[in-house]
Structure 1
Amino acid sequence: MSDRKKILVTLDGSKRSERSVDYLCRFKPFRNRKVTLFNITTPVPEAYYDLTQDFFSKIAVPQVKAWEMAQKTIMTEFLEEARRKIIAAGYAPDNIELKLITREKGIARGIFNEIKNNEYHGLVIRRRGSANSIIGVTMGGVAAKLVEKADFIPLMIAGTREIQHYLCIAVDGSPGSRRATQYTADMMGKTNCRILLCAIMRSTVPDSASEGKAPLVDMPLQAKRRLNEAMAEAEQILTEAGISKDRIKARLIQGAQSRAGALLDTARTAKCDTIVMGRKGVSNLNNFDLGRIPRKIIFASRKFTIWLIP
């Protein structure tokens, strides 16, 4: 996979969007890739220009146009400042592109169109933007739409935990989990990152247990064996990408009441900063764009950075 593939980063000029810039500065593997800093500005509605038909409102039209131009100027300056910061953090100037476009329909739809018309290897967003300042709201409307529907590109939801380059990969043996591991290997290969492979099962199986006793005993044993095999396969993918074996740990959690809760607790205890998941798990239901466990993790983990891999 070429390091020349681009990462699309959505910015809206808010304080939260400044944290996205900080994330780019701190996350070293992105420094070898092209990055597009992207914003969609909202123009003044056409109805405002109907004021030209009203003699007493004509004075307002130049003011509206001036506001519109001022907003574009402010956002352009924000993108330029973001570019300067990430270049100072070690990015090559030629790898940084600024793109400011005018909103035609919805913000989320504009982001989808940008992705579909260009070759991007990942999309970086935040849980909330400038328009959503309601206390207690976990995710803004645009972010929620992207999480639900952006099933054709790796999605990175930037968090606030300090970047330690310690990633927790949810492993369950599904194709989505394998793709998540492969994406991590492509991004983090030949770096000094640390990886925690985490597999979770509801039942508990003693190490001394053996198969062939009864179906209710054999099923948990088989599940445990499959998860151990999946973690061994994930470790091989990572080591082949250049990640040192001594920087990879594997952990099988048994007897979990909630798999999402157990994954979060494990990542917190290990002090990981990023959780990596496939969009769907073993069930892989076609009627849903996002699996149940990834959905719970995203809405319950405000501080973690989440990588959601299709």
Structure 2
Amino acid sequence: MAPRQKRLLLAVDGSERALQTVRYAAEEEAFKDMKIVLFHVFNSIPDAYYDLEKEPKSVKVVRHVRSWEVQQKKNIRTYMENARQMLLDAGHPETAVEIKIQNRKKGVARDIISEAQNGYDAILVRRRGFTDLKNVTVGSVTNKLMEKLSFIPVLIAGRKPINKKVLVAVDGSPCANRAVTFVADLLGPLDGYLVRLVHVIRGGSKSDVLAFEENGLTDTGSVFKEPVKLLTAAGFDPKNISTKTITGVLSRAGAIVNSAEKGGWGTIVVGRRGLSGVSDFFMGRVSNKVVHAGRKDTVWIVT
């Protein structure tokens, strides 16, 4: 029996920024064998508004609104077809790209979360959509998805050029190991990907601020033992796996983002929660801070 095709939910809002996310999906080799569903929640006019047709003075206004809604639906259909064509032009089979437009039911974020429950392996979104507020790192919808989508990985597309260098934050927690497993399953069969496993220990003396331990694959008692095992079992060449321990820093998230920046790592992968595992928190502090600190980075958050 052939393995089940993985499914990626790609949420778009009709903005140019969202089209950049589609371009990312088209160019990222990791998604080539996945079924991609382009999903849009359409903000239609509430049915209650049309009750105004019963009022003679409001008939013209309602007709105008109906006409506007019809045009908006045509616009989003064209937008979605263009997005689909981007994926097809990049080599995705026609049968592997689907368009799904849904009228808003409970709210944009809640409707996306509801759709995500239908057998997807991950969801791909942009940090922001239509909003142009310069100081907003993550838009309201994406922020809600990060908080509430605790059952599948949330992939947040950044603005940096795509490459095959993936930095994975590890701390020995089950969630971090699941993040490594996600990377192993998605990228293991592909050629040319490099993985850097990073373990950050906060605190220590000032002299330890830039103390690194690199390529510690022979240290079988380290936090890297299980992640390396998972990656090699999935097909990664040990030569394409490296490790780094960073100590003496004040911010784990800052150190992770800094390491990705200096090393030119195109994707940062973090577990949703670390060793604390506090169930009352929808999302760990480190993973949340990585998303906000790495303003241009692509970040994969794995539950």
Common fold: TM-score over 0.5: yes
| Residue matched to 2:274 | 281
Change (3 A) 1:252 1:29: same
Q: Secondary structure at the match of 1:39?
A: strand
Q: Is the 8 A contact 1:154 1:308 kept in 2?
A: yes
Where do 1:137-176 residues align within 5 Å? Answer: 137-176=136-175
| Residue matched to 1:32 | 33
Tell me how far apart the structure 2 counterparts of residues 133 and 229 of structure 1 sit (CA, whole Å): 44
Tell whether 2:7 aligns with 1:6: yes
Q: CA deviation at 1:274?
A: 0.8
Tell whether 2:234 aligns with 1:235: no
Q: Secondary structure at the match of 2:249?
A: coil
Residue type of the partner of 1:238? Answer: L
Residue type of the partner of 1:278? Answer: G
Tell me how far apart the structure 1 counterparts of residues 203 and 3 of structure 2 sit (CA, whole Å): 41
Residue type of the partner of 1:124? Answer: L
Tell me how far apart the structure 1 counterparts of residues 201 and 150 of structure 2 sit (CA, whole Å): 26
Tell whether 2:115 aligns with 1:122: no
Q: CA deviation at 1:92?
A: 1.2
Which piece of structure 1 moves more, 227-236 or 72-81? Answer: 227-236
Tell me how far apart the structure 2 counterparts of residues 228 and 23 of structure 1 sit (CA, whole Å): 38
Coordinate RMSD, CA, aligned: 1.9
Deviation string, structure 1 residues 39-94 (Cα, Å, up to 9, x no partner): 01011123431321222221122211111111111111111111111111111111
Tell me how far apart the structure 1 counterparts of residues 296 and 123 of structure 2 sit (CA, whole Å): 18
Deviation string, structure 1 residues 104-123 (Cα, Å, up to 9, x no partner): 1111110111122x110000
- Structure number with larger C-alpha Rg: 1
Q: Secondary structure at the match of 1:4?
A: coil
Structure 1 outlier segments of 4+, above 3 Å:
225-228
Deviation string, structure 1 residues 11-52 (Cα, Å, up to 9, x no partner): 111011011111011101101110000001011123431321
Deviation string, structure 1 residues 198-241 (Cα, Å, up to 9, x no partner): 01113559xxxxxxxxxxxxxxxxxxx99962212211211111
Q: Is the 8 A contact 1:3 1:33 kept in 2?
A: no
TM-score, normalised on structure 1? 0.89
Q: Is the 8 A contact 1:3 1:32 kept in 2?
A: no
Q: Is the 8 A contact 1:5 1:119 kept in 2?
A: no
Structure 1 unaligned blocks of 5 or more: 206-224
How many percent identity over aligned positions? 36
Q: CA deviation at 1:136?
A: 1.0
Tell me how far apart the structure 1 counterparts of residues 188 and 96 of structure 2 sit (CA, whole Å): 20
Deviation string, structure 1 residues 266-299 (Cα, Å, up to 9, x no partner): 1111101111011000111111111111111111
Q: Is the 8 A contact 2:167 2:265 kept in 1?
A: yes
* Residue-pair matches, total: 289
| Residue matched to 1:270 | 263
Which piece of structure 1 moves more, 24-33 or 173-182? Answer: 24-33
Tell me how far apart the structure 1 counterparts of residues 143 and 107 of structure 2 sit (CA, whole Å): 13
Tell me how far apart the structure 2 counterparts of residues 49 and 190 of structure 1 sit (CA, whole Å): 54
Tell me how far apart the structure 1 counterparts of residues 92 and 188 of structure 2 sit (CA, whole Å): 18
Q: Is the 8 A contact 2:6 2:33 kept in 1?
A: no
Q: CA deviation at 1:133?
A: 2.2
Structure 2 unaligned blocks of 5 or more: 206-217
| Residue matched to 1:70 | 71
| Residue matched to 1:98 | 99
